[in-house]
Structure 1
């Protein structure tokens, strides 16, 4: 999904999609009719009240977890598979104690996943990059109520944007949507009484408990705790007479970061270690010795290194996106038919199952003026510039959906800067417009792609797409209501951002791009400009090498995204990512079955347990129930 720590199909050990009843034989001309007659399970319970409630609760919890993680690492983590496992475990436990009579079905659990995904991904699509960036740039944000309305409307518009392209991408072309396919396989295993899948639920729960205990032991200031775990342990050497920890080269006692590292590829992990050593072990000390970086603190180092890291991330993201030009071309071709009249409507075999085509224009007619009004009132974006964002968001939604369907990566890193560049030209000097217009288009793109990923799962299982659409709407409302107060709790002021506690790297990149567009390149220190040019060239070179180098050489070419990220987050975070990635890689090579059973659930448990406990401790401190 979003550029995130969501495991790839290779990490999940997915085989190529097996022959499935949803795929007609070579002689069948109408895949939709075949699906309706052979796969669709309309009579089964799907979007039940308990599924909606469970999905909203699980989605809210995962939204909180993702918020904490994205402020720490810049990545959002996968939601749907974890949500379905949690839902299965919760309903099984409730049934065991007699509080629930009927066992949850696969399609009901699929509905839980749709609702939870809508809520859990409220941190993606630029939401938790743009809002922190706006806070850093201006020092203020709209009130909580207005921000909830903003997130809810943008996300809802993204859900409606998926309607006109769903049937082409999912039903007709049957794009893989790897996360959607993996979720369908997970649900089939869980509800087919697969003991291995049930074991994954237990691993997730135990790991979550361990992660929560470690987080409380480290962050909690309870009177009954004899001592707290240190946050970090400095590596045992000095640089320029200062301990390595002063340069952020420490071992971070965080299972969250190790768990996140286990969910990325080993290539990304070692690339992050390489970037951390180069940035904080060599480059930063050299710049301090020259007086370019004024002091040995993470914030001071990051203020200089940001431009190099941002250039690597933006240039590699844009070039990778450009290489997907065939997908983009198909997306634009599809746009021509969005408002065309459907001459086959009377023969539509799925008219009672799919969302009516009229829902898309009606949704935008209702939501569009609200979005334009919010852009003008909250962010002082002229109405005409807000109107331009509406068709642009549809374009971004179509592109994001197709690219996600084919690659499992929503190209937020590429689409966000494109919108920023456009509005930088349209409204020079308007920082809020530059950041929040990209938030609008990015939010629509992400939630459109997210719904289609869930609908892919439903297509394989025989679920009702209209009910999944409605479930997604419940989810985005829950996510919007949760993410804003939680963000305000964790980030009471801009001073918290860009620190070792909350590096917020994606926000730093968005804020940096806006600053550069408004103030011009000449406002940067000469060395920072050189770093930005070097980062630009490095990002391009790494993408080209990864694409064109001999197959045997590719494992030794650093990951552009991993290297770029390591330059803008503390060195300790990159070290932990590497440790997690290395542990997972060793397990996959030496104990493949054990890795398949444990890596995903244990990593997800560590992340969920620590992040939720971190938020709980922050709440206790904020309400005076625990010393700060």
Structure 2
């Protein structure tokens, strides 16, 4: 057994293997399920999930079936592999970049639609799949070892793993750090976060060993005794609901305010249990928003303003004369611009303190003792770290290899090799800002970072919409992937897992996910119109709309005024929220999230309403039910089952669709009301 894949304490002794076949295999299995799930929901709503907490929890349950259950460090490798596998649909642009290229119009954009074959999708995915993986080790030394940033999602996952394995709670400053966890923090001063609560209860149980009838009443026992049952029935309920909705589409398009508002103004309700589960606990890779009551309230506030006020105004004023749901001439396309302004303003303002602090740290007076401090704080021995030469060769190779592949897939007409190369450089620089923002606030503003790259490339290659989208995608991929993997490295740091073992898991997971994501996307393209009624791919329109604006400078009528107004308002709101969160002010949680508010514009009301149900359930459950050991973990298990149930059955639906099996009845759908009937 090689030295690197054995668990060691800080600077010390070897004990048991952690990079094992069982850990990686289970991680890949969970990751493939997440990959299909994320592609399905990403094409529907633009949102995907990192699901590190859920991966660790499900991995723990699966490992109980093995002759020897997995160790905490093996669980870290498992969930790291799962996250690397499951988040590729976003990193490779399957939910945004590729659908946007398929929407190109030669008259408007100077290029015909680009539809990649399966082999071309593999090539494109290979070009961006590993840059963020090789970028992570050097950033880890700065933000995790030297600066010790919180990375709340990674910290919460580490605490959960510690609870499940009866380890002392990792991290000494987590309580302060977790107060910045947007949408996941306590709703009043007497409540604690999931991670804080289970860690404190675990520590108490570890010290006291309280038993009744020989049974220890703690979170681990709850998970072992009830985890499978809760996961099974929640998974089954979501799966059955999804399958019924496939054969009877009106189930997921209930006209709650009458058929007229449903048909003409898209006011429907989708009682999807997966949407409800996402409203409970759902880490988001795009905005790093952790769902819950505060976030879902912000989202529904945006929905009311966007769809209840601005959409009718734009329609009746003649600014958006087309059908309401039309992304080009309808009200939905009109309010999309306001949504874009809000997201950019919120992301830019939230980045300002990070940029300021990072600039200060670069000054010699702030960094003269940095090297020695970093060395003193590193707890891992050299044989457990990723060697610097691997990082150098990997970064250089991934950039060169990626540039060649992008040129091979899109040609000179798409994007020049020098522009792709610059896109990787931009991705590296933006990754530092995104990772730092993520480490401090749990929010990775990759959408805003992607827009920054689009602005820069509009100046470098003016008029080239294809190059603008591709280069922005390359830059965003690095920032998003580095951020997701940094959360995992924070978990590993807290649980003393080998960074090198995690690095291997990331490489293996990313490699497999290239094939899985490309295959799944190709199957969806064959079975459905993308973008289309069933899978509108809203982020594709965000990418394409900004690229078109930068090419010809034309906005929908009177949308510019509303963009400036809402952008200015949410710049102030974001500044206030950032200030309050950094100073731990109690009222920070009551300030609306700009990104969540904008998502309420971007998606139809059915998206937000179902998640509000989940947010309310989460709030009431934590207030009145989750008062005993394991209560919070049980809620995570149920939410995970809801999400995975629909994600897995989506594969069944895809097979049925490919085989020509459609809806049994379109009763109640109306004209174009349900995607399953109108597609």
Q: Specify the TM-score bucket, using the shorter chain as the normaliser.
A: 0.7 to 0.9
Q: Out of 535, 544, 558, which is 1:511 matched to? A: 544
Alignment of 1:525 onto 2:564: no
Alignment of 1:56 onto 2:28: yes
CA gap of 1:531–1:261, structure 2 versus 1, over 3 A, is same
Q: Out of 107, 110, 131, which is 2:73 matched to? A: 107
Would the aligned equivalents of 2:123 and 2:409 in 1 still touch at CA under 8 Å?
A: no
Superimposed CA distance per residue, residues 489-546 of structure 1 (whole angstroms, 9 cap, x where no aligned partner): 224499532x5532323222222111111121xx223222233223322331321343
**Separation of aligned partners in 1, 2:440 and 2:313:** 43
SS in 2 for 1:203: helix
Alignment of 1:265 onto 2:295: no
Q: Out of 521, 535, 541, which is 1:487 matched to? A: 521
1:305 deviates by: 1.5
CA gap of 1:328–1:290, structure 2 versus 1, over 3 A, is same
Would the aligned equivalents of 1:266 and 1:581 in 2 still touch at CA under 8 Å?
A: yes
SS in 2 for 1:103: coil
Q: Trace 1:369-384 onto structure 2 (pairs within 5 A).
A: 369-379=400-410, 380-384=414-418
**Separation of aligned partners in 1, 2:23 and 2:580:** 48
Aligned residues: 572
SS in 2 for 1:162: helix
Partner of 2:183: none
1:83 deviates by: 1.4
RMSD, aligned CA: 3.1
Q: Out of 173, 176, 196, which is 2:222 matched to? A: 196
Partner of 2:571: 540
**Separation of aligned partners in 1, 2:23 and 2:311:** 51
Alignment of 1:392 onto 2:418: no
CA gap of 1:333–1:292, structure 2 versus 1, over 3 A, is same
Superimposed CA distance per residue, residues 95-150 of structure 1 (whole angstroms, 9 cap, x where no aligned partner): 4xxxxx32222222221111111111112347232222222235223322222232
SS in 2 for 1:44: strand
**Separation of aligned partners in 2, 1:298 and 1:495:** 16
**Separation of aligned partners in 1, 2:472 and 2:78:** 30
Q: Out of 449, 452, 457, which is 1:423 matched to? A: 457
Partner of 1:287: 314
Alignment of 1:591 onto 2:625: yes
Larger deviation: 437-446 or 416-425?
437-446
Partner of 1:306: 336
Q: Out of 110, 124, 139, which is 1:165 matched to? A: 139
Q: Trace 1:458-469 onto structure 2 (pairs within 5 A).
A: 458-469=492-503
SS in 2 for 1:355: coil
Partner of 1:575: 609
Superimposed CA distance per residue, residues 585-618 of structure 1 (whole angstroms, 9 cap, x where no aligned partner): 1222333437513332222211111122123202
Q: Out of 179, 183, 187, which is 2:153 matched to? A: 179
CA gap of 1:437–1:120, structure 2 versus 1, over 3 A, is same
CA gap of 1:492–1:37, structure 2 versus 1, over 3 A, is closer
SS in 2 for 1:251: coil
CA gap of 1:156–1:42, structure 2 versus 1, over 3 A, is farther
Q: Structure 2, unaligned stretches of length 5 or more?
A: 1-6, 105-111, 167-218, 282-290, 664-675
Alignment of 1:253 onto 2:274: no
**Separation of aligned partners in 1, 2:244 and 2:270:** 14
Alignment of 1:211 onto 2:178: no
**Separation of aligned partners in 2, 1:372 and 1:153:** 7
1:65 deviates by: 0.8
CA gap of 1:479–1:295, structure 2 versus 1, over 3 A, is same
Partner of 2:88: 122
Partner of 1:21: none
**Separation of aligned partners in 1, 2:137 and 2:561:** 45
Would the aligned equivalents of 2:146 and 2:374 in 1 still touch at CA under 8 Å?
A: no
Partner of 2:169: none
CA gap of 1:555–1:465, structure 2 versus 1, over 3 A, is closer
CA gap of 1:228–1:529, structure 2 versus 1, over 3 A, is closer
**Separation of aligned partners in 1, 2:373 and 2:163:** 39
Superimposed CA distance per residue, residues 270-322 of structure 1 (whole angstroms, 9 cap, x where no aligned partner): 22222222332333223322333334442232122111111111221121122
Alignment of 1:84 onto 2:105: no
1:168 deviates by: 3.1
SS in 2 for 1:194: helix
CA gap of 1:330–1:166, structure 2 versus 1, over 3 A, is farther
Superimposed CA distance per residue, residues 417-438 of structure 1 (whole angstroms, 9 cap, x where no aligned partner): 1111111110011112111112
Q: Structure 1, unaligned stretches of length 5 or more?
A: 1-34, 96-100, 222-226
Normalised TM-score (structure 2):
0.78
CA gap of 1:281–1:351, structure 2 versus 1, over 3 A, is closer
Partner of 1:66: 38
**Separation of aligned partners in 2, 1:490 and 1:559:** 32
1:474 deviates by: 0.3
Larger deviation: 304-313 or 596-605?
596-605
Partner of 1:320: 350
Normalised TM-score (structure 1):
0.83
**Separation of aligned partners in 1, 2:296 and 2:598:** 12
**Separation of aligned partners in 1, 2:441 and 2:337:** 28
Would the aligned equivalents of 2:319 and 2:557 in 1 still touch at CA under 8 Å?
A: no
Alignment of 1:496 onto 2:523: no
1:42 deviates by: 4.0
Partner of 1:619: 655
**Separation of aligned partners in 1, 2:8 and 2:592:** 46
1:554 deviates by: 4.7
SS in 1 for 2:129: helix
Superimposed CA distance per residue, residues 371-400 of structure 1 (whole angstroms, 9 cap, x where no aligned partner): 111232323311222222233222223333
Partner of 1:232: 253
